Structure 1
Amino acid sequence: MRTLKILVINNYGQFCHLIHRAVRDLDMDTGIIPNTTPVEDILDREPDGLILSGGPTMERAGKCSEYLESIDIPILGICLGHQVIARTFGGEVRQGSSGGYADVEIEIVDEDDILKGLGPRTHVWASHADEVSVLPEDFIRLARSSVCEIEAMKHSERPIYGVQWHPEVAHTEKGEQLLTNFFKVCEEY
């Protein structure tokens, strides 16, 4: 796989720098940019893909909805990024029944592009303080768990993906595989 440019959008989550490091360690050209960066400035950098990081609250998600609506490249949302995707496209987010970070067993419902090689079950590190509760129209559910029905999803036509869990942390099984799968989507797009 050639070296791609993957920009990490900083939503002020505690793992943003770990996402950046994981992407860099997989030999991609990467950088962290504030979620207040104008769309034109992102496009000027000619990225092959965007990763919307986790973060504390929807109110701190900056221009992420604008990026989703106007930038036509593959986008992966992690935790808050996943929730922003859902809200932007008409889904719903609610407070989860189990907050705090914990090991969660995920059931892969549809391996699709980014979950290829992860199924049928895998263990991940996730917080469910907030979670996607209603799948947006035009989205396909990719994974579920006993605590959340929408652990991962993708847009039915555009290369937009969301995962509730953190593939960048050591506690997540096959996190590198998920990122590598996303890079393959970026390369082929």
Structure 2
Amino acid sequence: MILVVDFGSAKAPFISEFIDEYMDVTFVKFSELETINPDDYLGIVFSGAPILLSETDPAPYLEKTVWLKQYKKPFLGICFGHQILGLTFGATVSRQKEDRDWQTIEILQEDPLFDKFPREFEMMEDHCETVSIPPNFIHLGVSDACINEVMKHKEKPLYGVQFHPEVSGNLGSLLFNNFVNICERFEQE
């Protein structure tokens, strides 16, 4: 089972719908996260949020997600979730030009998250912030609009994507399928 944590994004239910095509999902609001044991799930997804971390104190979010530093199972942070992952590991979030349109993402190196993807593909963006790449993370993807479109921890299957696969059609569905496959392989190891 995959845990999807909703940080208040109107798009969050779509994450559950896509993942539910491949595996059972538990959907919780961020306010319920403290009642959850992350290790009870094969993987976890953090949604986006209508919150600007460059203008908001991130401490209340980071206090409830500090367990990410020790988390060893697959994790996928989307937009705000990507930024929370980065902040947890020492990155910084800053404002950038608003981007609420399709962007071409270029994959910088192969990874199971992008199995069966072309080297360049389009995904929907909806953000006006960017997160730096923290120490011990690999830079996996870039676009003209955002330098850090995709990152992954060097030693653990912790991923962050700035774009929104949950509103990006078939390739978004493929990304969630690949994430579920990563979760299943991790469980078998």
Q: Which amino acid aligns with 2:175?
A: L
Q: What is the CA RMSD across the aligned residues, in angstroms?
A: 2.0
Shift of 1:66: 2.0
Unmatched segments (≥5 aa) in structure 2: none
Q: After the TM superposition, which residues 78-93 of structure 1 pair with which residues of structure 2 at under 5 Å, given as runs?
A: 78-93=78-93
CA contact (8 A) 2:3 2:28 kept: yes
Provide TM-score, normalisation by structure 2: 0.87
Distance in structure 2 (CA, Å) of the matches to 1:142 and 1:183: 19
Match of 1:35 among 30, 34, 38: 30
Instruction: Letter of the 1:56 partner, please give it.
Output: P
- The answer to whether the Cα contact below 8 Å between 2:106 and 2:143 also exists between their aligned partners in 1 is yes
| 1:172 positional shift | 4.6
2:145 to 144, 147, 157: 147
Distance 1:38 1:151 in 2: 26
TM-score normalised per structure 1: 0.87
Contact 1:74–1:159 (8 Å) recurs in 2:
yes
Structure 1 residues 18 and 63 mapped into 2: Cα distance closer, same or farther (>3 Å)?
Answer: farther
Partner of 1:120: 119
> Following the alignment from structure 2 to structure 1, what is the Cα–Cα distance between the partners of residues 46 and 67?
10
Which of these residues, 154, 158, 179, is aligned with residue 182 of structure 1? 179
The alpha-carbon distance between structure 1 residues 38 and 145, as it changes in their structure 2 partners (threshold 3 A), is closer
Q: Between Structure 1 and Structure 2, which shows a larger proportion of helix residues?
A: 2
Which residue, out of 1, 4, 11, partners 1:8?
A: 4
- Matched with 1:50 is 44
The alpha-carbon distance between structure 1 residues 76 and 65, as it changes in their structure 2 partners (threshold 3 A), is same
- Structure 1 unaligned residues grouped into runs of 5+: none
Count residues with an aligned counterpart: 180
Q: Distance in 1 between matches of 2:45 and 2:180?
A: 11
1:23 aligns with 2:22: no
| Identity, % of aligned positions | 32
